[in-house]
Chain A
């Protein structure tokens, strides 16, 4: 078990380094220069040269990459061209806010999607299953931003029930102090994930229900409720856990959209703004954060899997 975790962590570190290389290369391949974006189109050649020299952009790519990695290791991602603050400060400010938004919505999504998937599997082929299937497909296929705007149109503009703007407070406590403003962004992200997760859970639970041990559990005289809770839930979770770990990028992509619609000052919004203004250091920093989050996500999924499934846990025993 420990050996397994060490091995997986080692692999994760390698992947993180790969992510750094890839993001660095890709961002520098994108046309358009940071200097122009930052100084405006009418900047003189001299000023551009000066900007490049000041930011080390005139050095060869390899040299730039080495210093990027060195600094990154010290937690230094450079200074934002447009916001004129250290990137690490920006990330440190915003990451906790994303923790709130994504954590809340993922938890909510799971607590809805898992029972819903099992319920649909039990009711497979009946009306309730069909209705929920249609609902999930509609949610799943609707573009995130459209869905967010729809919610705003109905609940803020029409009904005046909820604010259309997310809480703007600096601190996590400040955000949580304004729960009403948090509702729409959280609901948007939750519903989008519920659609996906419940589909996985449904098909996985259908597989589990067909297993002979479920019938055996019933033959002991267990009530169906206990059969589902003790024998179906955990076994159906196994494949879903893996999918969850890999879905981090999708969730982040959703967050970028939701944050810009609701003007929520998180990583997504930061990245969105950085991308439009070609703010390399911020883009690099935030891509790296997302990459690391994805790797950690799948690492956590593997750990959860090995805890849920004794067949994995006992391989080295």
Chain B
């Protein structure tokens, strides 16, 4: 059985908590906490995606769309209707989960590549809507004037936003890990391994798939809202198909079968795209392709799988 490991979570949480303080004292990296805000936003998506793809075995290339729906829901509810940002965030998440249930019902009956194609198609359609429904979304120009967040009248500046995002990421991490280590998570892994046997053992396979799909879509939406209220403006290109692929690279790099991997992958890919790959400019996408290829060939379990790999190496060689 998977055991609950409190200390690694605690240590990593402390590192993340003190990181801004350390970074502030090192001029070369003093802007890293800002990048970490995006990493945290992406981690919220990848944790859910890892549960869906790594544990349940259901591929989705459409989560960029759920991320976008959350972001636009927040933007539209707040700047067009003047609703409270927190309420908008909540409504966006509920709305996105409902959309996921409607889309997932038929789509999750498909397997493997067909499911990948269906979710990809969904992503493309939503992306087109973001571009074309200019009356609502501002079209290709996007939307501006999205209000920031505040708690009890305190405006959340970048410094505080960092803690909000990573605090939410921590809660999502704990909730998801709890699922994995319980009977619900076992049912998901069973679906991954043999749907027939899972059904025969009383697992409501279609129901479980839809719940996980909706959960991961809801998290993507929440991340989208956090993005919108942080950036205060949006445009559709943030939510294009390439972003969906980038999410895939994050969880593959980190290790698709590990929730930790989702977080590690999100952080690394975020730094790659915001900081380390700037020199490559147009060629950036090639670098990602190369990374994906290298992982698939040399590190199929991803970075989080390295300890296990070393352990098995030693076991194999007596």
- Whether chains A and B associate is no
